Amino acid sequence: MKKTLVILFIVFAVLALLFAGVLALVLGSESGVSKGTVLTVDLSLPVTEKAHEAGLEALLAGSMSHPLPARDIATAIREAGEDEDIAAILLHGGVSGSYSALSCVRDALDEARRNGKPVVAAYGSLDERALWMASVADETWLDPLGSVLVDGFSIDVPYMGEMLAKYGVEVQVTRVGKYKSAVEPFMRSDMSPENREQLAGILAEIEARVYGDIAEARGLELESIRAAARTEGIVTAKQALERKWIGRIGPFGEVLTSLKQVAEVDEGDDLPQVALESYARRIRHPKPRGDLIELVQAQGEIVDGSSAAGIGGDDLARRLRAARFDDDVVAVVMRVDSPGGSATASDVIRQEIVALKAAGKTVVVSMGAVAASGGYWISADADAIVAQPETITGSIGVFGMLPNVERLAGEHGLREETVSTSPLAGWDTLMRRKSPEQLALIQGHVDEIYERFLDLVAAGRKLDRPHVAEIAQGRVWSGTKAKELGLVDELGDLDVAIELAREKCGKKKAAVRVERPHLDFIEQMIEDVLEDQRRDLARIQGHPALQAARMAERVQALLGRTGVLARLPFDPQLR
């Protein structure tokens, strides 16, 4: 008995020590920074418009985006730029995420530098995203053995029509619009000329924007960067220094020594540092009061009902409805980063936008990397639409996919017999080919929704319907081209959209309210423990096995849909 009590005492003592250590870890992150501290910014995990879901469940589900949304990262950097205790800002690790999400971070770094805060970038090697981000720094270091990967931009679209046919899977399609190529990968073994045309145009504009930003920041000729991308691909550290792409070559230890001089720290002492995530938690301001602009994030694929991973039509509608009934909310800025999805769910969201406007509230849409198909459907009725130059938008078209695995099933001895009361019944089964009558029924529904799409775009954007019909056809456009066509009003980032909302509602001092995920104690503990492991997670993110699993998941999701979709032709993974 006495021995058992001793063992229990030891167990409880160990647990108490562990608890105290975790508590110190969590609470310690809330302490202030000392004079001469360097803010370290590691963007190795993809920066997105919306913070990732917190906790262990999200981690196990593969949620490995940056723990802070892009706007919070930018806000923390701006605060650091004015914080007298922050001696400098250090970029290191890596840069990942869409250019649209990262642009506000780059702008914040540039603002901090122009306000006199030293910004230093130090990387082992650079790719185009990192070079673009680092180009606004006062000083960019590269490891002596490092290099700069500058090889242009590409979008990969896998085609599996031949493979599906080989395994006995047929995909019947109903669609509208010659550019509505969402179904191409399931029917063809190569890219259509129309799809290649639209993607090539968008990539050319993105290249001009990114290379142009680098050239402007570094005082270079745009054509010199473009030429390197076409003839070299990889530039050594020495060559990058000679071309003024970077400022210095040296190992990371030399970077820290240099920063100690900036921070006025003795060479033998440790350099005080604070990670971006910790600093952002410390500077969060209390919830704003008075006139408010509600910032609503719409990120991911649009699905009916609720969704933990994307945009649930009912979820987003509920959020917009709450803003409509909140007397403090004078305007809503909806940040859309979505390839679209369910047409019915998109219209549920759109109806709430219309209701917001009818209630006298201003609605401005800010487009991120992608706001196409259903993503454009939910945007069209806003008082104003602001897109970024590299935004992929448009894709005004709809389609339905009807997979048929009858031959595959038959080869494995599986048969399905049917008894029905109508020749039209059973159109959603996977086990047989659809009859001409069934296909005509579904095509009629697709045509009706497409006509509805054209109507709402023409009315919402105040455009002639023939013009909308001409620029629709499921074609995607860059933000720059969309502005020329009248599909968007302004070019700019989220801050531009917020200022436009203030202007339109006549409330110049309206504060921005952002919904944040609540972290309980355990979730916060997991966040803090993982803070030092983010680079490892970033490496897992790019593992071929994980990429293959995600591709399979996307294919399964599309093949499993029986409703009409207003969705982008592909999941754009810009490289």
Nearest to 48 by CA among 407, 317, 310: 310
For residues 298 and 332, is the Cβ–Cβ distance under 8 A? no
For residues 222 and 233, is the Cβ–Cβ distance under 8 A? no
- pLDDT for 30 equals 40
On whether residue 453 sits in a domain, the answer given is yes
On whether residue 163 sits in a domain, the answer given is no
How far apart (Å, rounded) are the C-alpha atoms in residues 497 and 96?
24
On whether residue 55 sits in a domain, the answer given is yes
- pLDDT for 530 equals 54
373 has catalytic annotation: yes
Q: Are residues 277 and 133 in the same domain?
A: yes
What are 521-531's pLDDT values in tens digits?
Answer: 555 555 555 55
Q: Is 158 left (phi over 0), alpha (psi -120 to 50) or beta?
A: beta
What is the SS3 assignment for 340? strand
- In sequence order, what are the residues at sequence separation of 6 or more whose Cβ sits closer than 8 angstroms to the Cβ of residue 248? 139, 140, 141, 142, 241
Kindly tell me the burial class for residue 24, based on how many C-beta atoms sit within 10 Å of its own C-beta (0-12, 13-18, 19 or more): exposed
Q: Are residues 237 and 351 in the same domain?
A: no
CA atoms within 13 A on the CB side of 274: 27
Measured torsion, CA atoms of residues 51, 53, 59, 62, in degrees rounded to the nearest 10: -80
- When the pLDDT of each residue in the chain is averaged and rounded to a whole number, the result is 83
Nearest to 46 by CA among 387, 552, 567, 547: 547
- pLDDT for 144 equals 95
The residue type found at 183 is V
| 135, 373, 395, 478: the active-site residue | 373
Pairing of strands 565-567, 340-342: antiparallel
Tell which of 263, 282, 301 closes a domain: 282
- pLDDT for 99 equals 92
- pLDDT for 21 equals 45
What are 417-448's pLDDT values in tens digits?
Answer: 778 777 777 767 777 788 888 888 888 888 89
The DSSP line for 287-330 is PP-SSEEEEEEEES-EESS--SSSEEHHHHHHHHHHHHH-TTEE
SS (H, E, C) 64-93: CCCCCCHHHHHHHHHHHHHCCCEEEEEEEE
- pLDDT for 532 equals 53
For residues 164 and 551, is the Cβ–Cβ distance under 8 A? no
On whether residue 303 sits in a domain, the answer given is yes
On whether residue 11 sits in a domain, the answer given is no
Q: Are residues 479 and 548 in the same domain?
A: yes
Distances (CA, A) of 457 to 378, 382, 468, 488: 10, 11, 7, 11
Helix 193-218 to helix 222-231 angle, to the nearest 10 degrees?
Answer: 130
Q: Are residues 268 and 296 in the same domain?
A: no
How many C-beta atoms surround the C-beta of residue 20 within 10 A?
10
* Distance of alpha carbon 470 from the chain centroid: 29
Q: Are residues 246 and 271 in the same domain?
A: yes
Q: How many domains does the chain fold into?
A: 2
Q: Are residues 261 and 386 in the same domain?
A: no
How far apart (Å, rounded) are the C-alpha atoms in residues 174 and 441?
10
On whether residue 29 sits in a domain, the answer given is no
What's the CATH code of the domain at 105?
3.90.226.10
Tell which of 282, 304, 326 closes a domain: 282
For residues 64 and 538, is the Cβ–Cβ distance under 8 A? yes
- pLDDT for 557 equals 54
What is the SS3 assignment for 556? helix
Only one residue has tokens 């048969």, namely 415
Nearest-Å Rg of the Cα atoms of the chain is 26
- This prediction has a pTM of 0.80
Q: Are residues 308 and 434 in the same domain?
A: yes
For residues 315 and 306, is the Cβ–Cβ distance under 8 A? yes
Tell which of 251, 282, 313 closes a domain: 282
How far apart (Å, rounded) are the C-alpha atoms in residues 79 and 86?
10
Q: Are residues 371 and 439 in the same domain?
A: yes
Q: Are residues 245 and 115 in the same domain?
A: yes
How far apart (Å, rounded) are the C-alpha atoms in residues 13 and 333?
51
- pLDDT for 197 equals 86
Q: Are residues 273 and 303 in the same domain?
A: no
Measured torsion, CA atoms of residues 524, 526, 530, 532, in degrees rounded to the nearest 10: 60
How many C-beta atoms surround the C-beta of residue 196 within 10 A?
13
On whether residue 521 sits in a domain, the answer given is no
Q: Are residues 253 and 112 in the same domain?
A: yes
- pLDDT for 542 equals 52
What is the SS3 assignment for 573? coil
> What b/e string do you get for 94-133 counting C-beta neighbours within 10 Å, with b at 16 or more?
bbbbbbbbbbbbbbbbbbbbeeebbbbbbbbebbbbbbbb
Q: Are residues 94 and 119 in the same domain?
A: yes
What is the SS3 assignment for 97? strand
The residue ranges of the chain whose pLDDT is under 50 are: 2, 5-6, 8, 11, 13-14, 16-31, 54-62, 546
| 44, 100, 135, 180: the active-site residue | 180
On whether residue 472 sits in a domain, the answer given is yes
How far apart (Å, rounded) are the C-alpha atoms in residues 28 and 31?
6
How many C-beta atoms surround the C-beta of residue 420 within 10 A?
8
- pLDDT for 553 equals 53
Nearest to 90 by CA among 133, 47, 126: 133
Q: Which domain holds residue 370?
A: 292-416+425-509+542-567
